Amino acid sequence: MSYQALYRVWRPQLLKDVVGQTHITKTLQNALVHNRFAHAYLFSGPRGTGKTSAAKIISKAINCEQAPVAEPCNECRACKGITDGSIVDVIEIDAASNNGVDEIRDIRDKVKFAPNEVRYKVYIIDEVHMLSTGAFNALLKTLEEPPAHVIFILATTEPHKIPLTILSRCQRFDFKRITHEAIVGRMEEILDHDHVEAEQDALMLIARAADGGMRDALSLLDQAISFAEEKLEVDDVLLITGAVSERVLADLVAAIKEKETAQALNLLQQLLQDGKDPHRLMEDLIYFFRDLLLFKTAPKVEHLLERAKVDDRFKQMVEQLSLNYLYEAIEVLNSSQQEMKWSIHSKVFLEMSLIKLINLNEAAARVQLETSAESQSSPLNAKVKELEQALKKLQSGVVTPVAEAAPNKQRKVRKPPPQTRASISKATELLKSANKNSLQTIVGKWGTVMERVKAQNMPAGAWLSDGQPVAASESMLLLAFQNEMHRDMMDTKFRDFLEGVLSEQFGTSYSYVTLLSNQWEKVKQDYLKGQKTSDEGVAQSDPLVDEALKMFGDEIVEVID
């Protein structure tokens, strides 16, 4: 067979060709030049990042006829023999299929013999974590004190499975995932050499699918070149990788945002009919929402985006979707992804996730609309303004028409909404029967309550995490929230659910009242003042206040500077 795969043809033959591992190649080059290389190395890192290639390059460099050199010449008899595998003094062993004690004992017996053709005998043991415990023990002494003419190079993708006794006897180098830019640069070099045209976006899709592995990237590139007609295009890569284009992902998220359930489900059905993998599609959705979240919180990190392309449509989505919704969406998708791993009906979980996201969007939009309507309502009331001005003139002793008054400070008067006034009233009634023992019981079991809520209803757990119990009686609980949206969701959508959990946990019928933290502080202070006033007796009435009540009535308002 004359044709060779790209990853074999373009396998690095020099340390400088090992892409994305400068921190390792520079160290090894310096060690080779000064003849200070170790007797045992451990190369660890993800697949396809250059571990075995670096091991073979080192074996050539130390045996090169021009040594000591930073790079092998690849021209002498030793370098060529190691490259084509004809020199038997460089032994590559696959520990996945040679993991027994007998194989390692055979190495231990042969290691004492001098090399036949080159200066150093090199043992390259790939996937070394697959060795059995007995094999590791048989290797210990030899690895610690090998003969002067022997070097061990161990390679693994799972270093945590290697015993510490082995790790301590090796000089360890951790290979990292190769960046998308470095992978694309290497592919462009190969395509230029082979005179093949390709779109930049197509190469970036291959780099993303490779997940930091150069070998995977070159294998996909090889397949894509064979599939493409004249020029390698994005659609060709999408077909061979099973990935979903950024445009289709944006269409799907837009349908979710606009609450177009039928359109979202039709898009999903079309993608699955085109052969897209549900698990891969779920991963793409998670990354797209992650990109939305990153760009919303830090617009300058555009280079970190994985699936999205920053354009006007993407920016509009970022503006329209709230942070809370993006948090919840990622949690919903992640939970569904975990469930998909153990189910044969992955399509059902994918459809269910889309419907959850649409309903979640409706709930968030409803709360946001209510909050916006409340904040946009006029804070000024004509009657209250007249009362404020009249009280000020009465206090100064100057009686002038209200129209001539020019107050020095503008005061905003806001009436609490009916729902809040009802909650404040309930909270005040609760304080009359609240006791310390009930609160201590609630607080002591609150962690258990939160765990049960999250286990049964994850969105409810997320909204409830902002609240804390601050007062309790035998059948009523007061929760204080920092965020108004969290308070509203727990007061409306999840009330029946939480009361059921509370009743189940404490063995009695339990309900609750919700307030914002600042409202709770005011209710508490007013209650304490009322208690103090009742103890000291009824205070004498203020003539000024009596006169104001006669003029404008006894409606209570909240005055804010």
**Looking at the domain assignment, is residue 358 inside a domain?**
yes
Q: Give the range among 125-139, 289-303, 451-465, 521-535 with minimum mean pLDDT.
A: 521-535
395 and 540 in a common domain: no
CA distances from 491 to 325, 511, 516 (A): 18, 11, 11
The CATH number linked to 498 is 3.30.300.180
Instruction: Kindly report the CATH number assigned to the domain that includes residue 117.
Output: 3.40.50.300
End-of-domain residue from the set 337, 370, 403: 370
The rounded distance, in Å, linking the Cα atoms of 153 and 124 is 5
Q: Which of 174, 207, 230 is the last residue of a domain?
A: 174
Total structural domains in the chain? 5
- The verdict on residue 111 lying in a domain is yes
Indicate whether 127 and 192 sit together in one domain: no
Q: What amino acid is encoded at 362 in this protein?
A: E
Q: What is the pLDDT of residues 133-179, one digit of tens each?
A: 889 998 888 888 888 899 999 999 999 999 999 999 999 999 999 98
pLDDT reported for residue 57: 94
Q: Which residues pair with 531 in a beta bridge?
A: none
Name the burial class of residue 453, with classes exposed (0-12), middle (13-18) and buried (19+) by CB atoms within 10 angstroms of its CB. Answer: buried
How do residues 27-40 score in pLDDT, each as one tens digit? 999 999 998 889 99
Over the stretch 452-468, which tens digit does the pLDDT of each residue have? 888 888 888 888 888 88
> In 3D, which of 232, 186, 222 has the Cα closest to residue 6?
222
> What is the rounded CA–CA span in Å between residue 361 and residue 259?
7
Mean pLDDT over 234-259 rounds to 84
What CATH number has the domain bearing residue 342?
Answer: 1.20.272.10
Structure tokens at 55: 């091991």
Which amino acid is present at 559?
V
- The rounded distance, in Å, linking the Cα atoms of 473 and 126 is 66
Instruction: Say yes or no: 188 and 262 in one domain.
Output: no
What average pLDDT is seen over the chain? 82
Summarize pLDDT for 170-194 with one digit per residue, the tens.
999 999 999 888 999 999 999 998 8
Among 409-418, 422-431, 543-552, the minimum mean pLDDT is found in 409-418
One domain for residues 168 and 191: no
* Structural domain contains residue 401: yes
Band the pLDDT of 539: cuts 50, 70, 90: very low
Residue 558 lies in a domain: no
My answer on whether 332 and 446 are in the same domain is: no
Q: What is the pLDDT of residue 55?
A: 94
Task: Answer yes or no: are the C-beta atoms of 380 and 413 closer than 8 Å.
Answer: yes
Do 425 and 333 share a structural domain? no
The boundaries of the domain holding residue 235 are 180-241
Give 403 or 493, the one with higher predicted confidence.
493
- CA 385 from centre of chain: 51
Confidence of residue 26 (pLDDT cuts 50, 70, 90): very high
Structure tokens at 484: 């108004």
- Better-predicted residue by pLDDT, 247 or 363: 247
In-domain check, residue 435? yes
Whether the per-residue pLDDT at 355 is higher than 80: the answer is yes
Global pTM reads 0.59
Same domain, 309 and 197: no
Asked if residue 280 has pLDDT above 80, the reply is: yes
Report if residue 377 sits inside a domain: no
Q: Residue 234 is part of a domain; what is its CATH number?
A: 1.10.8.60
Residues 250 and 358 occupy one common structural domain: yes
Q: How many CB atoms lie within 10 A of CB 297?
A: 11
375 located within any domain? no
Residue 42's pLDDT band, with cuts at 50, 70 and 90, is very high
**Spatial distance between the Cα atoms of 254 and 317, rounded to a whole number of angstroms:** 8
Q: What is the pLDDT of residues 84-123, one digit of tens each?
A: 888 889 999 998 888 888 888 888 888 888 888 899 999 9
Which stretch of DSSP H or E encloses residue 189? helix 180-194
Quick one: 17 and 143 in the same domain?
yes
The DSSP-derived string for 435-448 is -HHHHHHHHHHHHH
**456 plus 471 within the same structural domain:** yes
Helix, strand or coil, per DSSP, at residue 299: coil
Is residue 96 included in any domain, yes or no?
yes
178-190: b (≥16 Cβ within 10 Å) or e: bebebbbebbeeb
Within this chain, do residues 79 and 166 fall inside the same structural domain, yes or no?
yes
Q: Assess whether 410 and 422 both reside in one domain.
A: no
What mean pLDDT is predicted for residues 327-353?
Answer: 87
